[in-house]
Amino acid sequence: MASMLTPRQLTGRDDSHVVALPDGHRLQQKVAEDFAGLQSAAREAGFELAIASSFRPYSRQLAIWNGKASGTRPVHDDAGHPVEMARLSPVEQLHAILRFSALPGTSRHHWGTDLDVYDAAVMPEGYQLQLSPQEVAPGGLFGPLHSWLDDRIAAGESHGFYRPYARDRGGVAPERWHLSYAPLAGAYAQNCGSALFVDCWDCEEIAGELLLREQIEANLQHILSRFVAVPDDWCPVRS
């Protein structure tokens, strides 16, 4: 049985549930232990499974969101081309951002269970990690790592890690690099809903306005079902 996180922990406003790893990334202790097991298995197979992103606080997710909503940070389409946000309606802007970036408070990275990974062993000197579909596709730089992960996940030998965004369901773009620790994350997802997020956005402790909030709240149930909720079949076992 997963120990439940508080509302502040679920929404990234409290980091007391995560621990620092030697590389500076942060995860829950149990998640870190099982990820070390997956790293060991990867090393035996010739890969250096490394973390690109792990726990992300609300403040960081807010900066990403507001940067994209204000036009100071680029928004890309599925082909990797910049989106001309000024030509879109506010609702279209919402969908363009949500394709690749979570609403502050709703990100699975707040939980300390989710992380983005890559193979550090094949990184060319000076290479800028993109976390792009091209990198993880067959023939891509990290294609062999993800083929190996495919086999481990299919065999139930992935130490509890699965891909919540493995397929394109019309919401969040596929993210083969995004792994989630199912024994904990499955339970946390069941405790996240609209009231939790609205309370989070209203909280006095948060510095900074959430841009596009009017449009977000007017379309909140649609956003949650299309871009936040993950179907039950995202992994075979959740506890």
Blockwise average pLDDT, block size 10, the chain, 239 residues: 85 97 97 98 98 96 95 91 94 96 97 98 96 94 98 96 94 96 94 93 77 94 95 70
Report if residue 197 sits inside a domain. Answer: yes
Report if residue 1 sits inside a domain. Answer: no
Give the length of the chain.
239
| SS3 (DSSP) at 26 | strand
Report if residue 2 sits inside a domain. Answer: no
The residue behind tokens 């990275």 is 109
Tokens representing residue 24 in the block: 């500076």
Question: The domain that contains 197 carries what CATH number?
Answer: 3.30.1380.10
Q: Return the pLDDT at 239.
A: 44
Rounded Cα–Cα distance for residues 50 and 57 (Å): 20
- Whole-model pTM: value is 0.94
Q: Return the pLDDT at 204.
A: 61
Report if residue 219 sits inside a domain. Answer: yes
Tokens representing residue 193 in the block: 């809903």
Of the candidates 59, 58, 54, the residue with the CA atom closest to the CA atom of residue 26: 54
Domain extent for 18:
7-234
pLDDT, tens only, 18-43:
999 999 999 999 999 999 999 999 99
Report if residue 42 sits inside a domain. Answer: yes
Split into its structural domains, the chain has a count of 1
**Which 8-state DSSP code applies to residue 227?**
I
pLDDT, tens only, 96-127:
999 999 999 999 999 999 999 999 999 999 99
Report if residue 239 sits inside a domain. Answer: no
| SS3 (DSSP) at 126 | coil
